Structure 1
Amino acid sequence: MGDGETLRVAVIIGSTRDGRVGPAVGAWFTGAARRRDDMAVTLVDLADFELPSRLPDTATAPMVEFAARIRWADAFVVVTPEYNRSFPASLKQAIDVAYDEWHAKPAGFVSYGFRSAGLYAVEQLRGVFTELHVVTMRDTVSFNLLDDGVEGGRPPPSEALDRAVTAMLDQLAWWGCALRSARTTCPYVC
């Protein structure tokens, strides 16, 4: 990593819908990320937080807890399905719960869906995260739930998917280390 410190990565499951495959996708990806020795990976499932549908004047306990998880992380991986060519409302609500906690950190994406493999959701998330001063990784991990071998959100082993995971995590590690060092040396202002 360059600075000798393990990168703290939060893998965020963005769907809260009943019958979702997000937890399976998140567990699959988290397992792959935890094989690296340069990252401490934690899973953050939005279904575990009772975030309000309207943002109140005073933060609720679940809002404070979620923001603390984001503050803890040096980097993020957002696991998102594609709903109607976009990402879930639950994910947007969670993103809006935190603000400063996102700044000057990198984010990667794991997307899934039908036909487009969730890539429309990723492209919309890039714009949202740019507004929050988050650097998004060029490479993504994505797959089509209709492909043969995808069962319950777990894609079959493949060299192409392994290369995609490695490329995205390598970029995330580089940016995470660089931005953490920069935030320590010179606090970020926006």
Structure 2
Amino acid sequence: MNLRSRRLVRPARTLAGVGLAATLLATVAGSAGYAADGRPRPVDVPAVLRPPAGQVLSADFAAAGVQVYGCADGAWTFTEPAANLLGWVRRRPGAATAVHFRGPSWESTDDGSLVEATVVASSPVPGSVPELLLRATRNRGDGVFGRVGYVQRLHARGGTAPTGSCPAGATTGVPYRAEYRFYVPAGS
């Protein structure tokens, strides 16, 4: 392969990656929270799920994964989330990626920054895990999650615990999708 053909291949891969990211983002989030250009659009959420005044949207991710449940005393109990996230970060070109796991925690796979949070408000969604407002309890790094103060889980679909009894020690993952919005103090 000569230098000229390398130059042609790289942009094609980059463009294909961006196209794939946009397709995945549209598939995961549906039309719920994204405009045609892939950026988050304003959404109407219950007042209890709104971050305090002075917080601005810094990143928005569509999540696809599972809510993991374990069997304790014959009943399914929540253990942890496990999801891949794809989305948009303010002032950064291209798609961003992250993972969501026990804590609850979100870690950028692009820059290694992390935010852990605790639930401060919940709003039920029939047949799905609830929508949430979470407050950051710990941040790491200077990247996308380094200054996050609040997180919203919106447009939740699926992920509820199985019904009925279960054998001791069993675990199961229940598929879910959601949109996670991350907020930082204004001026950050």
TM-score by length of 2: 0.26
Bigger CA radius of gyration: 2
- Structure with the larger helix share: 1
TM-score when scaled to structure 1? Answer: 0.26
Higher strand fraction: Structure 1 or Structure 2? 2
